[in-house]
């Protein structure tokens, strides 16, 4: 069998970021090929290029033996490539059949829709790929897994032979994942080629014929599942050539700064995404939360910061019940927060840097004088942040948009650290910043820790978690599944806990 | 960016927009057999007469206030379409209350203004509450509240409160003179000896100037204004930064509605002193245009309001001199609006790219040094 898709030297740059750096990828016909990597590793960009939503700056794409250049998704569809997006694009009030044909309706005279023909085609497609669905059911009555099946059929209906699935399991419960995998194997048997994006290692190992690992926009390895373990994959994903933070003596005190008691957070479908989590963080302690992304860490952070409602349990800050406090009250109590997604939650891209530095601290000096916003104070503080955290910018009047990604991150970390917080919630504080800046953030964290700051550090970088934390907890499917001592744990062990590969008997 | 460069950037969009609108209107005029130069000459010549200037200011005043009302929403990414209903409802209640109370002059005017602002704020705040509590998009809510206010409440209450059953079109009872605002004609005499031809410059102009200053200072200099702007820039970041989005939405709608309440005051306090069937409508929608042209900036909106007012008062003269059809004014207003939206987007995109480039170049220079 020949190669269905061959990508060579694909590069894509965005202002300040190289999303794909000479990526190469070969997908054989009729295989299930998994692309794995951390968030930000360039998986989605690569898939968007393959589906014609983005154009590569450089590189060659060969589909079915012919070199191609897609200008839009319709070019990709013409060549039999279809994409199932992570977020469904279905009309709830329409039936399955109506949704499937939407945008590609067979018509009779006078533009009337030929439902008979549509139904026949749908039946044919469903049968040949072994996917069953009730064509006249309203989509709003379907479960999440069934909706996903509608999306897949939609793509097949349009004649796709190559399917791209963007993190298809992110929205599914375990049984639904099994159903999906069964369907995918069916599809493969019927001759479809499947590209599968995911970062849940167990799933990848279960379904894929070939695995390509991306890291920081580059292809780091292409492996067969039988040759690797989940821990190997984790190591490939996060890499180990990064500098390792070195341990220094403990500064942990016996005063509790953050206490989380049985916290449960439910998602929109009332499923627990954080499930009965409890821990304590003391002044002078860094608690590392490890876990493969999407296992509840983000929601836990939201619950700590106050942007998400806690369904059960309590959050105590410095001994006070803060479960129902809003974000501002928590911040005024000395909490600082570095969000995971700096552009969405951390920055005002169109505003000058000094307005960005005030964000989150605008109710306290030096940003406020009575009812007035203190521009002078804000500018002075911004100059401090710029100097102390080495934010590379011509001046502080430029908009945050014009900074590179790494400098944006330094600005956010700097603004939070400059407020001298007592409690620090940091989600991936060193992601996307260069090695030097990373070392600096670590040093700052360590100094603040020595001064009594309590830190909750969420990171996907295992070296960072091990090197920085006084205590490590591992989250898997919303639960804390392990508490580990950073002095004795290896990245390999940690990786296997994160993926659930670590069986209890091995732990002992 | 150097100061000169910034000024060029700031002026580029409006100049482009007006230039384009004039060009397009000229083409229309030529096609319809008129002389565009004569038409523009007539319009400008007409507008240099003092009485027309007074008309322009009286017309520009509510336009500007209405622009601010819309802009308060826009700054928070709230599309308050409801200024139209808010100001008319406010004007009606202000007129009714004003006609039924008797107070010393300053207090009487103050009471009327207060009623207008409260009614506007309540009607607009209702849309905000619906958005926060029931998740109803504010565009839908305000459009529906417009219909309820204009075709429902006003159509019903104006009949209830009209001044005598035999005077069908006279509207509500006239407000006593203590509730009138003196005109500013005596101030005009400081500048010119020309006569105003019976026109009275409304003192609501002063309200508008104060409103513009308050708007600017509040948004740019106060902490509450910062919260509001931040919510408009990036709602997610504002939330993480401790701004309560639900409270901000209601607050912004209330401020916007209170401002909308002032729109009808030229007619109530200075011109007719009553609310009647001929009450000037359409100012709420025109305000959206003013806010768009003025880029939600106080100064920009003042220019935009005057520009629109200039065109409004110019249309009769075109009719009189027969140099062009009066509809050309509507075409001009429409194209200016459309062109300015496009031009602003284009210039801001260019500016962003330019800024990133300059920043990168500056850093590269420093790196070498």
B273 φψ region: left (φ > 0), alpha (ψ -120 to 50), beta (else): left
Instruction: Please tell me whether residues A435 and A456 are part of one structural domain.
Output: yes
Are A274 and A132 in a shared domain? no
Query: Are A125 and A50 found together in one domain?
Result: yes
Tell me if chain B has a CB within 8 Å of the CB of A358. Answer: yes
Q: Do A362 and B234 lie within an 8 Å CB cutoff?
A: no
Please name the residue of chain A whose CA is at the shortest distance from the CA of residue B353: A402
For residues B277 and A215, give the distance between their C-alpha atoms in angstroms, rounded to a whole number. Answer: 70
d(CA B125, CA B145): 11
Which A residues, 286 through 345, put their C-beta within 8 Å of a C-beta on chain B?
305, 307, 326-328, 330-332, 337, 339, 344-345
> Which of A238, A265, A298 finishes a domain?
A238
Same-domain status, A181 and A315: no
Helices (H), chain B: 3-31, 36-47, 50-74, 83-100, 105-134, 138-147, 155-160, 185-191, 204-221, 223-233, 235-240, 245-261, 265, 283-293, 298-321, 327-368
Instruction: Tell whether A135 and A176 lie within a shared domain.
Output: yes
Domain boundary among A238, A270, A293: A238
Residue B37, judged by CB atoms within 10 A of its CB (0-12, 13-18, 19+), counts as exposed
State the DSSP code for A402. G
Rounded distance between C-alpha atoms, residue B262 and residue B94, angstroms: 10
Q: Which CATH class is domain B56-324?
A: mainly alpha
Residue of B236, B239, B242 to mutate for A, most A C-beta atoms under 10 A: B242
8 Å CB contact between A271 and A173: yes
List the single residue in A with minimal CA-CA distance to B240: A345
Please report whether residue A60 resides in a domain.
yes
Contact A144/B at CB under 8 A: no
Number of folded domains that form chain A: 3
Count Cα neighbours of A50 within 13 Å in the Cβ-side half-sphere.
35
B240 to chain A nearest CA, in Å? 6
**Chain B residues within 8 A of A416 when measuring between CB atoms:** none
Together in a domain, A101 and A156 = yes
Same domain, A199 and A92: yes
Q: How many CB pairs under 8 A join A and B?
A: 94
Q: Are residues A413 and A493 in the same domain?
A: no
* Count of other CB atoms within 10 angstroms of residue A295: 24
Question: Shortest CB distance from B359 goes to which of A327, A346, A398?
Answer: A398
- For residue A452, the enclosing domain spans 245-334+421-508
**Pick from B91, B96, B73: nearest CA to B142:** B73
3-state secondary structure A277-324: EEEEEECCCEEEEECCCCCCHHHHHHHHHCCCCCCEEEEEECCEECCC
Q: Which CATH number is A217's domain given?
A: 3.40.50.300
Torsions phi, psi for B217 (to 5 deg): -65, -45
Tell me what ipTM this predicted complex has: 0.82
Domain segments of chain B as ranges: 1-34+330-369, 56-324
Q: Are residues A433 and A390 in the same domain?
A: no
Residues of chain B with pLDDT under 50: 367-369
B233: chain A residues, CB-CB within 8 Å: 348-351
For A278, phi then psi, to 5°, come to -135, 140
Report which DSSP code applies to A94.
S
A258's enclosing H/E stretch is strand A256-266
**Which member of A344, A360, A368 has the closest CB to residue B242?**
A360
Question: For strand A218-223 and strand A210-215, is the pairing parallel, antiparallel, or unpaired?
Answer: antiparallel
What HEC string does A122-165 produce?
Answer: HHHHHHHHCCCCCCCCEHHHCCHHHHHHHHHHHHHHCCCCEEEE
Residue A274 near chain B (CB below 8 Å): no
Q: Are A362 and B227 in contact (CB under 8 A)?
A: yes
Q: What is the DSSP string of B140-209?
A: HHHHHHHHIIIIIIIHHHHHHTBS-TT-TTS-BPPPPGGGPPPPSHHHHHHH-----TT----THHHHHH
Under 8 Å between Cβ of A205 and A500: no
**Interfacial B residues in 229-288 facing A (CB < 8 Å):** 229-230, 233-234, 236-244
**Is A108 touching B (CB cutoff 8 A)?**
no
Per the domain annotation, does A49 fall within a domain? yes
Q: What's the pLDDT tens digit per position in A290-343? A: 987 778 999 999 999 999 999 999 999 999 999 999 999 999 999 999 998 888
| Partner residue facing A398 (CB), from B226, B242, B355 | B355
Same domain? For A365 and A467 the reply is no
Q: Does one domain contain both A193 and A89?
A: yes
Are A46 and A114 within 8 A, CB to CB?
Answer: no
In DSSP terms, A138 is beta-bridged to A95
Q: Which residues does chain A have with pLDDT short of 50?
A: 242, 503, 505-508
Name chain B contacts of A346, Cβ cutoff 8 Å: 237, 240
Q: For residues A136 and A101, is the Cβ–Cβ distance under 8 A? A: no
| pLDDT value for B366 | 53
Q: Are residues A400 and A413 in the same domain?
A: yes
């Amino acid at each position: 069998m020949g190669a269905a898709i061959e990508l060579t030297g694909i590069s894509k740059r965005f202002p300040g970021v190289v999303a794909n750096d000479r990526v190469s990828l070969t997908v054989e016909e009729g295989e299930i090929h998994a692309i794995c990597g951390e968030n930000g590793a360039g998986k989605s960009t690569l898939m968007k290029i393959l589906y014609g939503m983005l154009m590569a700056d450089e590189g060659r794409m060969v589909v079915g033996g012919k070199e191609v250049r897609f200008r839009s998704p319709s070019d990709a569809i013409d060549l039999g490539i279809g994409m199932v997006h992570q977020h469904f694009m279905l009309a709830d009030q329409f039936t399955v059949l109506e949704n499937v044909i939407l945008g590609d309706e067979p018509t009779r005279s006078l533009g009337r829709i030929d439902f008979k023909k549509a139904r026949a085609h749908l039946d044919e497609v469903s049968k040949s790929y072994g996917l069953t669905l009730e064509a006249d059911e309203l989509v709003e009555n379907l479960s999440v897994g069934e909706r996903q099946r509608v999306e897949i059929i939609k793509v097949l209906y349009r004649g796709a032979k190559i399917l791209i699935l963007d993190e298809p399991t992110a929205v599914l419960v375990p049984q639904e994942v099994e159903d999906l995998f069964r369907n995918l194997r069916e599809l493969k048997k019927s001759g479809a080629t499947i590209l599968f994006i995911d970062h849940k290692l167990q799933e990848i190992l279960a379904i894929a014929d070939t695995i390509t690992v991306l890291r920081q926009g580059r292809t780091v390895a292409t492996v067969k599942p039988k040759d690797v373990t989940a821990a190997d994959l984790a190591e490939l994903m996060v890499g180990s050539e990064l500098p390792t933070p070195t341990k220094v003596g403990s500064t942990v005190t016996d005063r509790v700064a953050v206490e989380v008691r049985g916290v449960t957070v439910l998602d929109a479908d009332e499923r627990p995404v954080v499930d009965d989590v409890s821990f304590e963080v003391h002044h002078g302690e860094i608690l590392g939360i490890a876990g493969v992304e999407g296992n509840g860490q983000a929601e836990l952070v939201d619950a700590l910061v106050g942007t998400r409602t806690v369904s059960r349990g309590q959050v105590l800050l410095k001994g006070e019940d803060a479960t129902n406090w809003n974000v501002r009250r928590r911040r005024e109590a000395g909490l600082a927060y570095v969000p995971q997604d700096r552009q969405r939650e951390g920055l005002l891209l169109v505003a000058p840097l000094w307005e960005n530095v005030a964000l989150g601290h605008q109710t306290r000096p030096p940003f406020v004088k009575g009812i007035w916003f203190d521009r002078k104070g804000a500018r002075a503080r911004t100059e401090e942040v710029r100097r102390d955290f080495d934010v590379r910018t011509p001046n502080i009047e430029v908009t945050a948009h014009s900074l590179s990604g790494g400098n944006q991150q330094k600005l956010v970390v700097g603004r939070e650290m400059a407020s001298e917080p007592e409690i620090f919630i940091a989600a991936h504080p060193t992601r996307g910043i260069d090695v030097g800046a990373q070392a600096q953030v670590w040093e700052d964290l360590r100094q603040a820790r020595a001064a009594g700051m309590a830190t909750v550090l969420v990171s996907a970088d295992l070296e960072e978690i091990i090197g920085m934390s006084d205590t490590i907890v591992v989250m898997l499917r919303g639960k804390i599944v392990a508490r580990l001592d950073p002095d004795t744990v290896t990245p390999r062990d940690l990786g296997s806990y994160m993926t659930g590969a670590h069986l209890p008997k091995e732990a002992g | 960016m150097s100061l000169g460069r910034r000024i060029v950037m700031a002026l580029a969009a409006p100049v482009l927009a007006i230039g384009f609108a004039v060009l397009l209107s000229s083409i229309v005029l030529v096609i319809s057999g008129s002389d565009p130069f004569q038409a523009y000459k007539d319009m400008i010549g007409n507008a240099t007469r003092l009485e027309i200037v007074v008309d322009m200011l009286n017309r520009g005043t509510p336009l500007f206030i209405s622009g601010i009302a819309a802009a308060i929403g826009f700054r928070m990414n709230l599309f308050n379409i409801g200024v139209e209903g808010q100001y008319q409802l406010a004007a009606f209640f202000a007129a009714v209350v004003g006609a039924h109370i008797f107070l010393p002059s300053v207090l009487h005017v103050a009471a009327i203004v207060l009623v207008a602002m409260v009614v506007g704020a309540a009607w607009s705040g209702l849309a905000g509450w619906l958005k926060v509590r029931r998740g109803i998009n504010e565009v839908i809510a305000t459009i529906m509240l417009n219909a309820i206010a204009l075709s429902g409440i006003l159509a019903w209450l104006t009949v209830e409160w009209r001044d005598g059953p035999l005077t069908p079109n006279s509207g509500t009872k006239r407000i006593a003179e203590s509730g009138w605002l003196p005109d500013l004609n005596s101030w005009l005499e400081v500048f010119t000896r020309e006569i105003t031809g019976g026109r009275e410059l409304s003192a609501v102009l002063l309200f508008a100037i104060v409103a513009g200053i308050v708007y600017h200072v509040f948004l740019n200099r106060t902490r509450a204004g910062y919260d509001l702007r931040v919510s408009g820039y990036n709602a997610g970041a504002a939330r993480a930064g401790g701004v309560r989005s639900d409270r901000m939405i209601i607050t912004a709608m209330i401020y916007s509605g209170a401002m909308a309440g002032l729109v009808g005051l030229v007619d109530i306090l200075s011109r007719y002193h009553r609310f009647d069937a001929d009450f000037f409508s359409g100012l709420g929608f025109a305000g959206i245009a003013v806010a768009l042209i003025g880029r939600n900036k106080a100064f920009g909106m003042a220019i935009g309001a005057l520009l629109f007012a200039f065109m409004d008062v110019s249309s009769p003269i075109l009719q009189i001199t027969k140099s062009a059809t009066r509809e050309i004014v509507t075409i001009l207003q429409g194209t200016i609006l459309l062109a300015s939206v496009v031009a602003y987007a284009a210039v801001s995109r260019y500016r962003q790219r330019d800024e990133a480039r300059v920043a990168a170049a500056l850093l590269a220079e420093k790196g070498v040094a």
